[in-house]
């Protein structure tokens, strides 16, 4: 009993100490392990407790001279490199392999080099810890679309309305919670979309974009605010009042933070901008605007600013410094009379010089879009075998249901208009209404792809969700930014999803299968040929990428999954983190040997489960 009490005291001292965050986590893990061996090996426990206490004392004294917390090592350009951290005592060490940015690497491949979990043992996965966000803070709203980041043993997660949490990635212990103040909450109270999709972690700080168009830096060790800047100070007009809002995760590269924005359906002018991570001052002389100013070029007669927003993170080629981004629909969204021509650079992949923000090349996926067919996904940069030879390419799937591959340096099309959705039909909207497929939510929405080098396959998450779109028939001067209305979809149409594997050598579909629901989460793949993903019914699955077969599935107790998992290791043990949304926003971390108790699917609460009859 005395040793148990002493362990509790030492755990509290560890988190009240001046130790850096990695050391605190390491000490917490030591104390957790001590609790497990206390009864059977009291002598070993006592010795280890003494060593850990010495480490804590040394840590407190040595950290007086530290200039920055160890979390700053997250700026590593090589995600697969180990990030060792140890306390002053040589008796214990922790080796972490990170998931350091929202799409694992800056190329957005979502392919991790970790190999503990295999096709043979994946069935032993279970939950090792979970957290219910609403129990941590009852004010947190429904829904979650966060792509978690893991750096040096700390998992960073966000929720709707810009809450940020730091957890011990292995135990789930909450380290800190950053919450929006009342001014921010007041600014976002009239917004319909309140999602946040993640943070950037670098230089000892956590960076987040807020719904009310601010860029925030938070101390990664303490969770305290370092600085907040209004985006409108550097990007003219970027305010909630003008229709802008922020849902994407920022990206850190080479000392800079890169951001875009949401609001294309509100008729805003899309942009990409860079800030210095050190002090949040502008790193570019001016934003890169994706469309002309109102009153110029194809916007000459348009009362709106043209759309083309960059509402998912950009990707970066670290070998060349080229930044790639996907852009959204033009505005008015489904009314093209006042925006003649192709409307560049909307629905496009755009390449910029990351140092200056100057255009390198651009390729449009949909010309003169009338159907809300954004190209929102973070473009993926890969070195793939194409026609038998290795080539660096940028790939992108759009809401149009078509997929493209471009030469990374020149933008030359390699594969064009590869259809990955079963039906594509988008006639011009009429006042009576037309049915468009795959619809305004698909083919590929923001859910990310992944690339598996071993099979040379790209996996695409698809959405088959037709909509009835009605054309605008009023006066031109009264048209809204959305440009039209959505009618009631016929009741016999049941939305669903697809998983499509594209063979990069040929640009053709290797296989495709249907999923229970629309694919709104995306993939993360591993070195053992597995891809993990979740669905809107709360099921998470593992796919054998080469075979195209599901080899594991697990029903989360929570609701829908609308983001892809992060995968990381500590001391060689592999962990997988999923977030779920709906009315029960939660986070779940899996590992081999975890709890296999499953929840109940929302599909199972209705007679007959999922209805696939209309497919």
pLDDT by residue (tens digit) across 56-73?
444 443 443 333 323 322
Between helix 21-37 and helix 42-62 the angle, nearest 10°, is 170
Name the nearest CA neighbour of 307 among 234, 208, 373. 373
Q: Report if residue 8 sits inside a domain.
A: yes
Question: CA–CA distance from 156 to each of 60, 98, 114, 209 (Å)?
Answer: 25, 12, 20, 14
Q: Which pLDDT band, with edges at 50, 70 and 90, does 19 fall under?
A: low
- Spatial contact of 211 and 245, defined as CB atoms under 8 Å apart: yes
Question: CA–CA distance from 379 to each of 107, 110, 398, 498, 605 (Å)?
Answer: 8, 12, 10, 20, 38
Of the chain, the percentage scoring pLDDT greater than 90 comes to 77
Is residue 30 helix, strand or coil? helix
pLDDT at 582: 93
Full 3-state SS string of 138-170 = CCCCCCCCCCCEEECCEEEEECCCCCEEEEECC
Q: Kindly report the length of the chain.
A: 615
Q: Where are the beta strands (DSSP E) in 71-111?
A: 83-86, 93-97
Is residue 96 helix, strand or coil? strand
Say yes or no to pLDDT of 28 above 70.
no
Radius of gyration of the chain measured on its C-alpha atoms: 24
What is the residue-wise DSSP string for 475-513?
Answer: -GGG--SS-SEEEPPPTT---EEEEEEEETTTTEEEEEE
Q: Report if residue 470 sits inside a domain.
A: no
Q: Which domain holds residue 28?
A: 1-66
Q: Report if residue 19 sits inside a domain.
A: yes
563-584: pLDDT as tens digits: 999 999 999 999 999 999 999 9
Q: Report if residue 27 sits inside a domain.
A: yes
Query: Is 0.75 surpassed by the pTM of this model?
Result: yes
pLDDT at 476: 81
Q: How many domains does the chain have?
A: 1
- Mean per-residue pLDDT over the chain, rounded: 87
- Spatial contact of 307 and 291, defined as CB atoms under 8 Å apart: yes
**Taking residues 469-476, what's their average pLDDT?**
86
**Taking residues 6-22, what's their average pLDDT?**
50
Q: Cα(353)–Cα(331) distance, rounded to whole angstroms?
A: 26
Q: Report if residue 480 sits inside a domain.
A: no
Q: Report if residue 48 sits inside a domain.
A: yes
The set of residues, in sequence order, having a beta carbon less than 8 Å from that of 122 and lying 6+ positions away, is 530, 542, 551, 552
Q: Which pLDDT band, with edges at 50, 70 and 90, does 80 fall under?
A: very low
- Spatial contact of 127 and 178, defined as CB atoms under 8 Å apart: no
Say yes or no to pLDDT of 43 above 60.
no
**Taking residues 184-206, what's their average pLDDT?**
96
pLDDT at 482: 84
Distance of CA 388 to the CA centre of its chain: 32
Q: Report if residue 24 sits inside a domain.
A: yes
pLDDT at 473: 84
Q: Report if residue 408 sits inside a domain.
A: no
48-58: pLDDT as tens digits: 444 444 444 44
């Amino acid at each position: 009993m005395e040793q148990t009490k002493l362990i509790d005291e030492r755990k509290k001292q560890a988190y009240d100490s001046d130790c850096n965050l990695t050391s605190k986590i390491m000490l917490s893990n030591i104390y957790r392990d001590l609790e497990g061996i206390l009864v059977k090996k009291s002598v070993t426990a006592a010795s280890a407790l003494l060593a850990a206490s010495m480490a804590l004392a040394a840590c407190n004294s040595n950290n007086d001279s530290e200039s920055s917390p160890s979390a700053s090592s997250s700026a590593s350009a090589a995600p697969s490199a180990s990030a060792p951290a140890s306390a002053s005592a040589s008796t214990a060490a922790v080796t972490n392999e990170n998931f350091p940015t929202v799409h694992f690497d800056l190329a957005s491949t979502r392919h991790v080099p970790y190999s503990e979990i295999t096709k043979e043992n994946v069935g032993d996965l279970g939950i090792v810890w979970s957290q219910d966000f609403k129990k941590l803070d009852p004010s947190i709203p429904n829904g979650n679309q966060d792509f978690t980041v893991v750096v040096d043993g700390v998992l960073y997660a966000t929720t709707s309305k810009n809450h940020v949490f730091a957890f011990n990635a292995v135990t789930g212990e909450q380290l800190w919670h950053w919450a929006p103040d009342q001014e921010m909450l007041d600014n976002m109270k009239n917004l319909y979309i309140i999602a946040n999709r993640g943070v950037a972690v670098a230089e000892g700080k956590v960076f987040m974009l807020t719904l009310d168009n601010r860029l925030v830096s938070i101390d990664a060790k303490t969770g305290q605010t370092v600085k907040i800047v209004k985006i409108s100070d550097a990007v003219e007009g970027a305010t909630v009042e003008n229709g802008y809002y922020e849902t994407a995760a920022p990206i850190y590269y080479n000392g800079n933070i890169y951001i875009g924005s949401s609001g294309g359906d509100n008729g805003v002018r899309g942009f990409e901008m860079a800030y210095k991570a050190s002090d949040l001052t502008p790193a570019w002389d001016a934003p890169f605007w994706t469309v002309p100013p109102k009153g110029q070029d194809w916007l000459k007669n348009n009362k709106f600013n043209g759309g083309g927003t960059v509402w998912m993170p950009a990707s970066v080629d670290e070998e060349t410094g080229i930044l790639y981004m996907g852009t959204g629909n033009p505005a008015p969204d489904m009314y093209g009379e006042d925006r003649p021509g192709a409307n560049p650079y909307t629905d496009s992949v755009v390449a910029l010089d990351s140092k200056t923000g100057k255009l390198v090349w651009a390729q449009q996926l949909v010309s003169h879009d009338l159907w809300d067919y954004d190209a929102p996904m973070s473009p993926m940069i890969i070195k793939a075998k194409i026609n038998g030879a290795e080539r660096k390419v940028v790939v992108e799937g759009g809401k149009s249901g078509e997929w493209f591959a471009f030469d990374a340096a020149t933008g030359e099309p390699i594969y064009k208009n590869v259809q990955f959705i079963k039906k594509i039909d988008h006639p011009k909207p009429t006042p009576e209404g037309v049915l468009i497929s795959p619809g305004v939510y698909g083919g590929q929405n923001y859910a990310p792809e992944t690339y598996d080098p071993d099979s040379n396959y790209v996996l695409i998450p698809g959405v088959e969700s037709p909509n009835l779109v009605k054309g605008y028939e009023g006066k031109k001067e009264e048209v809204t930014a959305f440009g039209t209305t959505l009618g009631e979809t016929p009741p016999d149409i049941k939305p669903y999803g697809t998983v499509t594997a594209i063979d990069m050598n040929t640009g053709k579909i290797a296989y495709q299968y249907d999923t229970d629901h629309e694919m709104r989460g995306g993939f993360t793949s591993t070195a053992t040929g597995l891809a993990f993903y979740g669905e809107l019914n709360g099921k998470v699955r593992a796919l054998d990428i080469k075979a195209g077969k599901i080899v594991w599935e697990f029903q989360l107790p929570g609701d829908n999954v609308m983001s892809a998992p992060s995968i990381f290791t500590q001391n060689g043990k592999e962990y997988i983190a999923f977030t779920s949304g709906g009315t029960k926003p939660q986070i779940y971390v899996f590992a081999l040997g975890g709890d296999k108790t499953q929840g109940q699917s929302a599909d199972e609460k209705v007679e007959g489960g999922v209805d696939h009859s209309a497919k």
